[in-house]
Amino acid sequence: MRIKVLGCSGGVGPGLRTTGLLVDDEILIDAGTGVGDLSLAQMGRISDVLLTHSHLDHVCGLAFMADNLFGLIERPLHVHATRETVSALQEHLFNWKLWPDFTMLPDAEHPLMIFHTLQPAVPAALGRIKVTPFEVLHTVPAVGYLIDSGEGVFAFSGDTYADDRLWHFLNQQPRLDRLMIEIAFPDEDAELGRISKHFTPSLLGQELNKLRHRPKLFLTHHKPGTERAIEQQCLSALAGWDYSHLKRGDIILS
């Protein structure tokens, strides 16, 4: 399985894109602004989109991608998310006010986009990979995804905060080779992290003591301007862990 990082920033700026992971050119996990760097042909190859939660930095690319794909693809684009996230998108984004409802276009029998509801902790097969959503703590209902390619097990936390459910789920897995997890703020913004439900380096370092696996860590979602501070703080907070700060364009093999 080949995971290409289309975006991994907590915001936008020169060279920065928000969250999007392209798996084997066909599955998109979160649809942040990195989607805008894909060609029409690359967008047309995507069959399934998995969303962690409804926040704009994770879904805005879906709106523009659907628009681009209109008239371009023969089969529908399958969008998978929890019931709460699907409802939020239908009510607040694809509602004919912010954007057209592409589940009704060009007509209800042949829609461009189809929503599928995922249940936390229930695996779903997408081609040859197995995907299991797991609940995480954020300001809106949110999940991460465990992805088993048959050769390796990769987990992506999505946006999350300290929560024993996360570690309990991961500890139940027989193996965990790679974990992509967020750190949005430096330690001095711990209170902001608590309110907005995002990790800081020290808090993640403490929470990782609850994990029985020893995966390679990929750190993501640093807010623009905080990258250097977070990198400095991780040197001590994550001492002993094998980790890297994700960059747009990185490839993860799993």
For Zn ion, the closer of residues 57 and 101 by Cβ is 57
**Minimum distance between the CB of residue 138 and Zn ion, rounded to whole angstroms?**
5
**Minimum distance between the CB of residue 144 and Zn ion, rounded to whole angstroms?**
12
Residues 6+ apart with CB under 8 A from 195: none
Complete DSSP assignment for 116-127: EEPPTT--EEET
For Zn ion, the closer of residues 161 and 169 by Cβ is 161
What is the helix, strand, coil percentage profile of the chain, to 5?
30, 30, 40
**Minimum distance between the CB of residue 6 and Zn ion, rounded to whole angstroms?**
14
For Zn ion, the closer of residues 47 and 196 by Cβ is 196
User: Within 10 A of 114 (CB to CB), how many other CB atoms are there?
Assistant: 13
**Minimum distance between the CB of residue 117 and Zn ion, rounded to whole angstroms?**
20
Residues 176 and 125: their CA atoms lie apart, in Å, by 18
Residues 6+ apart with CB under 8 A from 247: 5, 8
Please provide the size of the chain in residues. Answer: 254
Tokens of 53: 């939660």
Bridge partners of 117, per DSSP, are 81
For Zn ion, the closer of residues 48 and 159 by Cβ is 159
For Zn ion, the closer of residues 56 and 98 by Cβ is 56
Q: What residues line the site for Zn ion (CB under 5 A)?
A: 55, 57, 159
**Minimum distance between the CB of residue 129 and Zn ion, rounded to whole angstroms?**
23
The amino acid at residue 243 is Y
**Minimum distance between the CB of residue 95 and Zn ion, rounded to whole angstroms?**
20
Taking alpha carbons only, the member of 215, 251, 249, 253 closest to residue 9 is: 249
For Zn ion, the closer of residues 98 and 140 by Cβ is 140
